[in-house]
Amino acid sequence: MKTDVLDVKFDGLTMHEALERAEALMDRSEREEGAPAPYIVTPNPEIVWLCRKNPDLARAVSAAALTLPDGIGIIYGAKILKTPLPERVAGFDFAMGLLARLAARGKSVFLLGAKPGVAEMAAEKLLSTHPGLVIAGTQDGYFQEDEPVLEKINVAAPDLLLVCLGAPKQELFMEKNAARLNVGLMIGLGGSLDVLSGTVQRAPEGWRRANLEWLYRLLKQPSRIGRMMRLPLFLLAVLWRRIVKK
Ligand code: UDP
C-alpha cells in the first residue's frame, strides 16, 4: 500500500520488508527481455519539496519500483496526515543492509557518483568490511556525457548500481537510462559515497536516535541552510494539506 505525502507515494515497509523486496527486484532471471532495470528512490522532505517545483523529478520519483522514506520529516508528515508509515528507512542504512546481503551471496555492486577518487575510497572501505562483496566498478559523478558511463556500467553488469549524484540528477539519470542499463537494481543515494569513503562523517548514533541527523549535518555544513529551509516549508505544506483534507 502507498502512503501519499504531498503527492509523493511512499511504500509503507519496514526496513526488513524493504530489503526483502529489493532482493527480489534485483533478480534478473525473473525479468522480461528488454524490460527497464528497476530503481529505488529515498526521498527526504527536501526532495518531496523539489518534486512540487520540478515535474521531471516528480515523474522520475513516481516511476520508481520502491519509494522509501529517508528523512524523519517524512515520518512526521505521514503522521500529521493521519496515514502513518511503519518506520523511517534511511537510505544509507538500507544500502548497508543490502550490501551485507550481497556480500553474503558473492554479488556485485557498481559505485557511481561523488568527486573523483571518492568512489574508489568507498570501494576499498567496503571490501574491508564486506569481504564477500564484488566491486564491479566505480565512476565519479562529474561526467559530461552519459554514453561512456552507461557502456562502462553495462560491461560490468552489476547486481546493484548505487547512483550517488544528488537530487534531482540521480533520479533523472535512473529514469532516463533504466531501459538501457544491464543492472539488477539501482538506488539513488545522495551523498552516501562521501560517508562510505570517510570523506564526510555521518551523525553520531545519539544524534541519529534523537532524530537530529539533519541538525548535525547543518552544524557541520552551515552552507546547507538554504536547502534546509525547505524542511519548514515542507511541514507547513503538510499542515495545510491536513487542514484542506478535513
Ligand atoms: N554529485 C555528483 N555529481 C554532480 C553533483 C553532485 O556526483 O553532478 C555528488 C556530490 O559529490 C555528493 C552527492 O552527489 O557526493 C550529493 O551529496 P548531498 O550531500 O548533496 O546529497 P544528500 O545526501 O543530501 O541527498
Q: How do the pLDDT tens digits run along the chain, 246 residues long?
A: 899 999 999 999 999 999 999 999 999 888 888 899 999 999 999 999 999 999 999 999 999 999 999 989 999 999 999 999 999 999 999 999 999 999 999 999 999 999 999 999 999 999 999 999 999 999 999 999 999 999 999 999 999 999 999 999 999 999 999 999 999 999 999 999 999 999 998 899 999 989 898 889 889 889 988 888 889 999 999 999 999 976
Q: How far is the CA of 193 from the centre of ligand 1 (A)?
A: 9
What the block records as the C-alpha cell of 148 is 561512456
Angstrom distances, CA of residue 74 to CA of 94, 139, 215 = 16, 31, 16
Give CA–CA dist 165/187, Å, rounded. Answer: 11
pLDDT at 107: 98
11 belongs to a structural domain: yes
**What residues line ligand 1, using a CB cutoff of 6 Å?**
113-115, 141-142, 164-167, 169, 190-191, 193-194
Strand partners, 5: 8
Give CA–CA dist 166/106, Å, rounded. Answer: 28
Strand 2-5 to 8-11 pairing: antiparallel
Task: Describe the crossing of helices 45-53 and 72-80 by its angle, rounded to 10 degrees.
Answer: 70
29 belongs to a structural domain: no
Task: Describe the crossing of helices 45-53 and 55-62 by its angle, rounded to 10 degrees.
Answer: 120
Which residue's CA lies nearest to atom 1 of ligand 1?
165
Q: How far is the CA of 30 from the centre of ligand 1 (A)?
A: 32
pLDDT at 217: 87
Residue in the structure block whose three cell numbers are 525547505:
230
Which residue's CA lies nearest to atom 5 of ligand 1?
165
- Structural domain containing residue 164: 2-21+34-245
Closest CA to 162 of 191, 121, 125: 191
78 belongs to a structural domain: yes
Under DSSP, the state recorded for 28 is G
Please compute Rg for the chain using Cα positions. 17
The amino acid at 45: P
Q: How far is the CA of 143 from the centre of ligand 1 (A)?
A: 13
28 belongs to a structural domain: no
27 belongs to a structural domain: no
pLDDT at 246: 66
Give, for 187, the enclosing helix (H) or strand (E). Answer: strand 185-188
> What residues contact residue 14 under an 8 Å CB cut-off, 6+ apart?
86, 87, 89
186 belongs to a structural domain: yes
Closest CA to 74 of 171, 4, 16: 4
Per DSSP, the three-state class of 233 is helix
Residues composing the chain: 246
Query: What predicted TM-score, i.e. pTM, was given to this entire model?
Result: 0.95
> Which one of 94, 169, 199, 202 would you pick to mutate in the ligand 1 pocket, going by the greatest count of ligand atoms within 8 A of its CB?
169
* pLDDT, tens digit, 9 for 90 and up, residues 77-104: 999 999 999 999 999 999 999 999 999 9
Q: Which atom of ligand 1 is nearest to the CA of 113?
A: 7
Q: How far is the CA of 115 from the centre of ligand 1 (A)?
A: 9
Q: How far is the CA of 190 from the centre of ligand 1 (A)?
A: 5
User: How many structural domains are present in the chain?
Assistant: 1
Q: How far is the CA of 48 from the centre of ligand 1 (A)?
A: 17
79 belongs to a structural domain: yes
Angstrom distances, CA of residue 70 to CA of 13, 119, 211 = 12, 22, 12
26 belongs to a structural domain: no
Q: Which atom of ligand 1 is nearest to the CA of 47?
A: 25
Residue in the structure block whose three cell numbers are 551523498:
191
